[in-house]
Structure 1
Amino acid sequence: MKVVVLSSHTSSLFWFRMDMMREFVSNGYSVVAIGPDCEQDWVAKFSEYGIEYCSVPVERNGLNPYKDFKTYRAIKKTIKKIRPDKIFLYQAKTIVYGTLAAKQNNIKQIYILIAGLGSIFKGNGVINSIIRKILICQYRSACNASKKVLFQNKDDRNYFFEKKIVKREKTAVINGSGVNLDHFHEVNLPIKTVFLYIGRLIKDKGILEYLEACKSIKQKYPEVRCMLVGPFDTNPSALQKSELNNYTQNGIVEYYGEQTDVRPYIKRCSVFVLPSYHEGTPKAVLEAMAMGRAIITSDAPGCRETVIDNKNGFLVPVKNILILIEKMSFFVENPELAKAMGKESLKYVEQKYDVKKVNKSIMEIMEMI
């Protein structure tokens, strides 16, 4: 049987869904990953794991109807050629146009993953409101055509219930994307306190709050290091390079750009910080937990699932820089508790977020085992 996994971000397919796709392959399925990036750059990387890769044009953040129509036609044509038995879709545009294309190709087993509600659902303004209403209608159509809709947290699922986007019996909640505990494992903490943020440099991820908190921490504790890993983005709320320069040039944060292997950076930190406004379930947080790190994250959908407050870290109110500074200062002044809470993080991730358990639940939902 053939399974298509479709996303509007090829890197996400490779780094966030590879464990899942490899599990499909090991259970005897033929898997085709479809994303927007050039086949020449990715075919060999996917084929190394027994997965075929195809490219279709997708503009993740664009609002051009003509380009979106081209995306739909390309997905429809590619799916017709592959003729999959099942299709797994995530991210807004590929959910909307991928579901429509699959339906047109008479595919019955369509599975949607809502891996977090983006800035369109959380933002303000007239244009944002109009786009949100359109997207809700599109999501409602996609959910109606699907066999099952998966969520990574209950808050997002409840939002879909409230807006009557999906029927309750069609839904399931999974524990994020999981984390590979063979790949990410516990390592000792550094001697001095080091904070780390990993994620796209967009304002909805709480990057400005992190930078401002680091500025205050560095003024009070000059010996503390604050690290930053992640790419710039095309998202409307993306941080500009000039904005980041204000912090890197003054030695407030150490910026390491986008990294394909984040383990060396997690190893060098003692506390992981992600003050995001909303997530599905933040994979970078799970990876830091698997390496025995205490967590500071926001009390927001997706984030709050990863922390038992005061046990493996702290939950802070969204956009509250003062409390973020307070919790970061706590770890500077109580480094032994960073180690103890890191131990609790590892226990929690082993119990709830082991990728093998998560993939098993996905395959049960998709009727693959």
Structure 2
Amino acid sequence: MRIAVIGGYAPSLINFRGPLLARMVALGHEVHGLAPAHVPDVGPQLEALGADYHRIPLSRRGMNPLADIGALLHIKQALQRIRPDMVLSYTFKPVVYGSLAARMVWVGERKRVYAMITGLGYAFTEEPAGLRRRILFNVAKGMYRSGINACDGIIFQNPDDENFFQRLGVVPERVATTVVGGSGVDLDHYAVAPLPQETVFLCLSRLLKSKGVGLFAEAAARLKARHPGAVFRLAGPLESGGDAVTPDEIAAWRRDGALEVLDPVDDVRPLLAGASVYVLPSHYREGVPRSILEAMSMGRAVVTTDAPGCRETVEPGLNGFLVPPRDVESLTQAMERFILDPALARTLGAASRARAEARFDVNRVNDAILAFMGLLPGGPGAEPGREAGAGAEA
């Protein structure tokens, strides 16, 4: 079968979907990855997996109608050249425009379209307040409805998003749905590492306010004053827009000295190996945060929020702690437990690894996706109007 996989960010075809694409190729399918151009070019890496790379002009951010219509037409042209039997899109714009383009190419044909919802992001972070947020919410909802209406099946990464979309009326009854364990994690690549001697807290995140990095900085300042020997580290890329942490805020954190702000890295494993506890106080609508899964796989205890996507990773008291979103006092108290009782990091970290093995192994997650799409030998696939494999990895 010829399969087109459409993403909004070229490196994600390798970093997040690479094992899935490789598994498709190993099963004998012809795989084509579509994403915007990126420097450095990911084409050679996709070719090494056995897949072809096609560049599409698609902006990840912004709502420029003319540019987005142009992107839709370019995706349609690319699909006309590839002539796939199946399309899988993930992230917001590819789900909308990739699914619509596939149906435009396949008018009257019984070929299949799937979408993966990898988190709902800023537009759905909270109840829309203010005119601008209400407009953004309703535009995003309408666009999702249009894209999903062109699909045969939807893959969610957590049950909260599935329930939320069904309450909004975005998913027609005829469209099958399933829930899987995020993008999964490569348990061999993210192997267990010995814990450091000191108590080290690490947050890996894009520097966005909705990811809770400001809350982490405030908790670090409070705890550093009480426990000078504790270490707090933050690493991640700068972002732009109203939700972004500003360079002035980062400079202030560095001057205060409680928080080590590091440059983003390509390989997070050394940073995770140097940490004893992983912290992500996000109130962003996550799918299942990949960084938490990587930390769990390496045997790290987790402190995160009782919010969609994040709550899937932690059983409170077993492998970490859940705190209310935007609650810096609760976050501080949860982190302080590891300073007062350093043995917790070892006990809860071992449970994190066991939970990653049981629920988030990338091979199991990918097989759940492929079975839903009917791509495993003997797999039933998703029949229209039927929920196929719901909760398989959630």
Normalising by the smaller structure, the TM-score range is: over 0.9
Match of 1:363 in 2: 370
Q: CA deviation at 1:252?
A: 2.2
Match of 1:21 in 2: 21
Report 1:1-369 matches (<5 A): 1-38=1-38, 41-106=41-106, 108-123=111-126, 124-167=129-172, 170-277=176-283, 278-369=285-376
Count of matched residue positions in the alignment of Structure 1 and Structure 2? 369
Identical residues among aligned pairs (%): 37
Distance 2:48 2:248 in 1: 39
Distance 1:289 1:40 in 2: 30
Q: CA deviation at 1:322?
A: 0.4
Distance 1:251 1:51 in 2: 46
The answer as to whether partners of 2:11 and 2:42 remain within 8 angstroms in 1 is no
Q: CA deviation at 1:327?
A: 0.8
Q: Secondary structure at the match of 1:41?
A: coil
Distance 1:128 1:7 in 2: 25
Distance 1:330 1:42 in 2: 43
Q: CA deviation at 1:119?
A: 1.1
Q: CA deviation at 1:167?
A: 3.2
Q: CA deviation at 1:258?
A: 2.0
1:40 to 1:189, Cα distance in 2 relative to 1, 3 A: closer
**Deviating more after overlay: 47-56 vs 231-240:** 231-240
Question: Given the two structures, how large is their TM-score scaled by the length of structure 1?
Answer: 0.97
Residue type of the alignment partner of 1:60: R
**Deviating more after overlay: 294-303 vs 224-233:** 224-233
Distance 2:59 2:339 in 1: 43
Q: CA deviation at 1:17?
A: 0.9
The answer as to whether partners of 1:39 and 1:55 remain within 8 angstroms in 2 is no
The answer as to whether partners of 1:227 and 1:254 remain within 8 angstroms in 2 is yes
Higher percent of residues as helix: 1
The answer as to whether partners of 1:61 and 1:234 remain within 8 angstroms in 2 is no
Distance 1:55 1:220 in 2: 52
1:39 to 1:269, Cα distance in 2 relative to 1, 3 A: closer
Distance 2:244 2:7 in 1: 20
Q: Which runs of 5 or more residues in structure 1 are unaligned?
A: none
Q: Secondary structure at the match of 1:59?
A: coil
Distance 1:239 1:29 in 2: 43
Q: Secondary structure at the match of 1:171?
A: strand
Distance 2:40 2:78 in 1: 17
Question: Given the two structures, how large is their TM-score scaled by the length of structure 2?
Answer: 0.91
- Render the CA deviation track for 1:93-138: whole Å, top value 9, x for unaligned: 1111111111111073111111111111124321121122122122
Q: Secondary structure at the match of 1:183?
A: coil
